A and B are shown apart, each in its own frame.
Chain A
Amino acid sequence: MAEIKLMKGNEALAEAAIRAGLQGYFGYPITPQSEVIEYLAVQEPKHDYVLIQAESELAAVNMLYGSSGAGARVMTTTSSPGFTLMQEGISYLACTELPCVLVNVVRGGPGLGTIQASQGDYFQAVKGGGHGDYHIIVLGPNSVQEMVDHIFLAFELADKYCNPVMLLADGAIGQMMEKVTLPEPIPYKPNKPWATTGKTPDRKRNILTSLFIESEEMEKRNLRLQEKFKKITQNEIQYEEYQTDDAEIIVVAFGLCSRISKRAVDIGRESGIKMGLFRPITLWPFPLKQLEEIASRKNVKFFISIEMNAGQMVEDVKLAVCGKKPVHFFGRLGGIVPTPDETFNAIKSKI
C-alpha cells in the first residue's frame, strides 16, 4: 500500500530504491548524502539486496560495473568530490552500455569545498565528466517526493536504454524533510539476455566490454551510442512550466532553485510583473526545442537563469534561445542558497 511519510530526501530516495527492486548498492559515505547508505544498511537484513561500503568511490563505481554486467538492478550515491572520482567508471559504464542509477547530492566546490547545497556540478553531469563521446540521462529532482519518483523513473530508463541514469540533487533536497507518498514496491524481474550470468550450452558467450582495439569497431560502438542518445532526446525530455503563457520574463531554474524561483515568480505576479517559470526536469536531454519555442513568442522580453553556481545551465539556455532574446543569469556560489526575495530583486534589476 502507498504510504505517506515525513522523510528526508536522502532517506526517501533510499526507501524508493528498495521499493523499485534494488539488488545492489555500493557506496562510500560523504556528507550531505550519508543518510542513504545509513538507511540502506539498517534496512538490509529485511531485504534481498547486497550492500557494500566500498573502500572508495572508485571501488564503488567499479562494483556497480561488475554487478550491472551480471544483470542486477544497482545504484550508487555520492556527493561532488566522490562523483568526480567515479568519472572513469561512468565512462566505462556508458560505453559498455550498462544500466545503473547514480545519485549526486551536490555540495559546494570546487575542491573538497563545503558540505552545503550547490548546483556546481551541472556541467560535469550533463556534458559528461568522463572521457569520450557519451551522455548519461540526468534528472533534476526539486522535492523529496521527486527524489522518490525519479528513482523509479531512473531505474526504468536505465533498463530501457541500457545507460547510466543520474539524479542531480543537492545538499538541501537531501537534508530537508517533506511529506512524501511512497509507492508500493514493484516486483523486479530483470529481462537482460545480454548479462554475463554464466554461459549455457544453448547460446554464445555474452561479452561486455568498453575496449575496442580496432578503430572500425570503436566507431561502430560510437555510432550505436549516438543513435541511442538521439532516441533518448526524442522521447524522454521532461519539463514543467508555471505561469509562462502570458509571461514577459521567463525564469529558468532546476532543482531547489526552481522552488525558490517559483516563489520569486509569485512575488513578481503580486506586484504586477508578468513572470513565468520554465523548469527543465531532464537536464540531459535538455528541453532545447521547448525553450526555443518560448523564445519565439512576441510577448517574451528576456530569459534569466537562476542557479547555485557561477552560471552553467545558462549556457544551455543560450543555446536554446539562440540569440532571439537576451539571456541573463543570477547565482550564488559556494553553498549559499539564494532566498526568494533576493532572486526576485535580481530578476527585477534586469528589467
Chain B
Amino acid sequence: MLQEMIFAGFGGQGVLSMGTLLAYAAMKEGKEVSWMPSYGPEMRGGTANCIVNISDQPISSPIVSEYDVAVVLNQPSLKKFESRVKKDGILIWESTNIKEPPTRTDINVYGLPAIDKATHELKNVKVMNMIVLGALVKINKIVKKESLLIALRETLPERHHHLIPLNKKAIEMGMKLI
C-alpha cells in the first residue's frame, strides 16, 4: 500500500505541520514515510505545500506528479492540484475561502467549511488544519486517531502542550464532518 498525498495552501494555514503530523503518526505505526516541502520564496505570504508519501515498503521517489490525495486550502492550490489527483483519488478542499469549487467528477471530492467551524465553534482559526486532517484520516484511514494524538504530543514543543486538547477536539470535529 502506497499513498501519495499533497497538502497545499497559503503559508501560515498549517499545511506543512499537517503533513508533518501525519508523517510522524504513520512512522509511529511502523510505516515508511517521506515528507517533501516546497521551500523558498513562495513560502513568504504565498502558497506552500508538502508531499507526504506513506507506504509499507521503502519509498522510491519522494517526488511524484500525481496524487492519491490532495488537500487544498486555497484557490491557487485547488487550481494547481485538482488536475493532478489520480482517477478515483481524494480531493479535500476548504469551502469557506475557496469560491470556485472543484469540477472533476471522476474523483471523490469533499468540501469542508473548516475555517468557519474553527472560528465559530472552536474559537481558534489556527486549528482549521486539524479539522481537515481529522476528516482525511476518517476518509482514507491512513493512520489511527490515537497515532495522531501521540504525534501531537511528541512533535509539539512543551510550551504548546496546553493546546493539545483543542487540537484533539478539532481532529474529532473533522472526523464527524465526514
Contacts and interface: CB of A to CB of B under 8 A. Distances in A.
Interface string B123-149: 000000000000000000000000000
A260 B27 contact: no
Interface string A262-290: 11001000000000000000000000000
4 nearest A-B pairs in the assembled complex, by CB-CB distance:
A339-B65, A263-B61, A177-B35, A262-B60
A346 to B, nearest CB: 13
Given A6-B35, A262-B60, A177 B23 contact: yes
Given A175-B37, A179-B33, A339-B61, 6 more contacts: A6-B27, A115-B41, A172-B36, A175-B36, A337-B63, A342-B65
B66 interface: yes
Contacts of B33: 6, 177-179
A259 B60 contact: yes
A275 to B, nearest CB: 13
Contacts of B93: none
A223 B20 CA distance: 52
Contacts of B27: 4, 6, 179
A115 B41 CA distance: 9
A141 interface: no
Contact of B62 (A114, A115, A116, A176): A176
A266 B61 CA distance: 11
A183 interface: no
Chain B interface size, under 10 / 10 to 19 / 20 to 34 / 35 or more: 20 to 34
Interface in B45-83: 59-66
A32 interface: yes
Contact of B39 (A115, A260, A339, A340): A115
Interface string B5-35: 0000000000000001001100100001111
A48 interface: no
A263 B34 CA distance: 14
Given A115-B40, A116-B40, A177 B63 contact: no
23 contacts: A4-B27, A6-B23, A31-B39, A32-B39, A114-B40, A115-B40, A116-B39, A172-B63, A175-B36, A175-B37, A176-B35, A176-B36, A177-B20, A177-B33, A177-B34, A178-B59, A256-B62, A260-B61, A263-B61, A339-B64, A339-B65, A341-B66, A342-B65
Nearest to A174: B39
A335 to B, nearest CB: 8
Contacts, number: 70
Contacts of B65: 339-342
Contacts of B24: 6
Interface in A24-53: 31-32
B33 to A, nearest CB: 6
Interface in A95-114: 114
B153 to A, nearest CB: 14
A157 B32 CA distance: 30
B39 A262 contact: no
B80 to A, nearest CB: 14
A315 B61 CA distance: 25
Chain B CB within 10 A, most for which of A6, A114, A175, A341: A6
Contacts of A32: 39
Contact of A339 (B20, B34, B63): B63
Chain B CB within 10 A, most for which of A32, A172, A179, A341: A179
Nearest to B24: A6
A260 B40 contact: no
A266 B37 contact: no
A259 B61 contact: yes
Contacts of A263: 60-61, 64
Given A4-B27, A6-B27, A176 B37 contact: yes
A116 B23 CA distance: 23
Contacts of A176: 34-37, 62
